């Protein structure tokens, strides 16, 4: 019989699992201590016990805090799922409002959706699921399915990427595109028409900022190239939130999803226009692991997200181009 065979769960302090979860999510013993209401020395002592229990170092120090080992990454989804089951059981006796205290749910999405959805979702959760912490995690269609299956996120919003039979999905809407430029820069005569569309000449004359996970080709290029047209890309970034600071003070433009363009234009001196070429619409989907809907908290947040998106205006003011 090995030492592992001799482990008796009744002899284990299950509070250690909360420490493992907090260390993994916070990446720091000091932040985990604040989160759990413990001293840092108590968290360090608990980590020592966890290391002996699992016969693994679990977390290693780096220049940016604590990084999980492969074993810790394997343990994290199992531990969080077990703790969430315990939290769900407490709802039966403490009521729904108290039952969300200490819970956290993670939502995978790119930052264009975080810009457009984030504040509304935070406000709704505060009203309907008080005590719940929402964790936004960056993702995109090429990795979102894997993140769901690896339990890195509980729910995810993406344009595609949900192909596994173990993942359920629903369509939230049909996304479209718009352009942003610095509203303080003067426009030349004929650059835009009376429907706020840029002329093709103005569109191709300006330098472009590309938002892309790859950094080289975007949807605009896929539309222009078959027509024998080409744009000039000044720079690329992976984050929509950086655009105001990259666009302002220049004559560059960026073509991005309409929902993000509206949000950025509402908070920055940016002018929203529409491209002169017909851009294809794309499906926006909400995805989840099918077994996750047994958790009432996941199911409730899924419903809230669906309701928020049902109120979105997906069409542009200029005929949906």
Query: Would you state the pLDDT for residue 8?
Result: 59
Instruction: Tell whether 300 and 256 lie within a shared domain.
Output: no
Q: Tens digits of per-residue pLDDT, 47-64?
A: 999 999 999 999 999 888
Say yes or no: 65 and 51 in one domain.
yes
Report the relative pairing of strands 104-109 and 133-138 from DSSP bridges: parallel
Question: Do 105 and 53 fall within a single domain?
Answer: no
Answer whether residue 268 is part of any domain.
yes
> Does pLDDT of 318 surpass 60?
no
Q: Specify whether 191 is located in the same domain as 169.
A: no
Q: Domain for residue 315, yes or no?
A: no
Q: Concatenated DSSP letters for 190-237?
A: TSB-TTSBBPHHHHHHSEEEEE-SSSS--HHHHHHGGGT---EEEEEE
> What is the average pLDDT across 73-90?
81
Same domain, 182 and 269: yes
What pLDDT, on a 0 to 100 scale, did the predictor assign at position 172?
A: 94
Q: CA torsion sign, 250 to 251 to 256 to 262?
A: positive
- Number of domains the chain is built from: 3
Please give the Cα distance from 286 to 11 (Å, whole number).
Answer: 42
Alpha-carbon distance 111 to 131, whole Å? 24
Percent of the chain with pLDDT over 70: 90
Is residue 294, in this structure, part of any structural domain at all? yes
- Given a cut of 60, whether residue 320 has pLDDT beyond it is no
Please indicate, yes or no, if residue 242 is contained in any of the structural domains: yes
Residues 142 and 289 in one domain: yes
What CATH number does residue 306 fall under?
3.40.190.10
CA angle 156, 158, 163 (to 5 degrees): 85
Q: How confident is the model at residue 91 (pLDDT cuts 50, 70, 90)?
A: low
How many angstroms separate the Cα of 160 from the Cα of each of 9, 67, 121, 167, 211? 42, 30, 21, 12, 18
- Output the CA torsion sign for 178, 247, 185, 276: negative
Residues 125-142 have pLDDT tens digits of 999 999 889 999 999 888
Cα 316 from chain centre:
24
CB contact set of 8 (below 8 Å; sequence gap of 6+): none
Kindly state whether residues 290 and 269 are assigned to the same domain: no
* The token pair that represents 163 in the structure block: 């192909």
- Residue listed under structure tokens 């790119």: 110
Which residues form the domain of 241? 177-273
- Ramachandran quadrant class, 290 (left: phi over 0; alpha: psi -120 to 50; beta: rest): alpha
Whether residue 4 lies inside any domain: the answer is no
Helix extents (H) in the chain: 15-26, 29-36, 40-54, 70-94, 96-99, 111-128, 144-149, 200-205, 219-224, 243-247, 258-267, 296-310
């Amino acid at each position: 019989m090995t030492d592992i065979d001799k482990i008796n769960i009744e002899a284990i302090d299950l509070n250690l699992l909360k420490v493992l979860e907090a260390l993994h999510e916070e990446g720091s013993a000091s932040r985990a201590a604040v989160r759990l209401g413990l001293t840092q020395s108590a968290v360090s002592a608990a980590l020592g016990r966890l290391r002996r229990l699992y016969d693994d170092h679990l977390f290693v120090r780096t220049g940016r805090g604590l990084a999980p080992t492969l074993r810790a990454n394997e343990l994290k989804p199992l531990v969080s799922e077990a703790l969430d089951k315990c939290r769900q059981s407490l709802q039966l006796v403490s009521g729904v409002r108290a039952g969300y205290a200490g819970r956290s749910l993670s939502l995978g999405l790119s930052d264009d959706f975080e810009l457009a959805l984030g504040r509304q979702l935070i406000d709704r959760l505060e009203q309907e699921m008080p005590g719940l912490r929402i964790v936004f995690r960056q993702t995109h269609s090429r990795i979102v399915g894997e993140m769901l299956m690896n339990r890195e996120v509980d729910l995810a919003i993406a344009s595609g990427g949900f192909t596994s039979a173990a993942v359920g999905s629903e369509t939230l809407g049909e996304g479209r595109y718009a352009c942003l430029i610095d509203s303080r820069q003067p426009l030349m005569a004929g650059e835009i028409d009376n429907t706020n569309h840029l002329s093709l000449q103005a569109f191709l004359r300006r330098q472009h900022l590309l938002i892309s996970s790859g950094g080289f080709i975007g949807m605009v290029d896929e539309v222009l190239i078959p027509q024998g047209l080409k744009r000039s890309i000044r720079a690329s970034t992976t984050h929509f939130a950086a655009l105001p600071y990259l666009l302002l003070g220049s004559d560059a433009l960026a073509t991005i999803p309409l929902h993000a363009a509206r949000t950025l234009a509402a908070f920055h001196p940016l002018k929203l226009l529409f491209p002169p070429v017909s851009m294809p619409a794309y499906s926006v989907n909400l995805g989840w692991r099918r077994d996750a809907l047994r958790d009432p908290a996941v199911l409730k947040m899924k419903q809230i997200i669906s309701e928020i998106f049902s109120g979105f205006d997906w069409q542009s003011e200029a005929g949906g181009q």
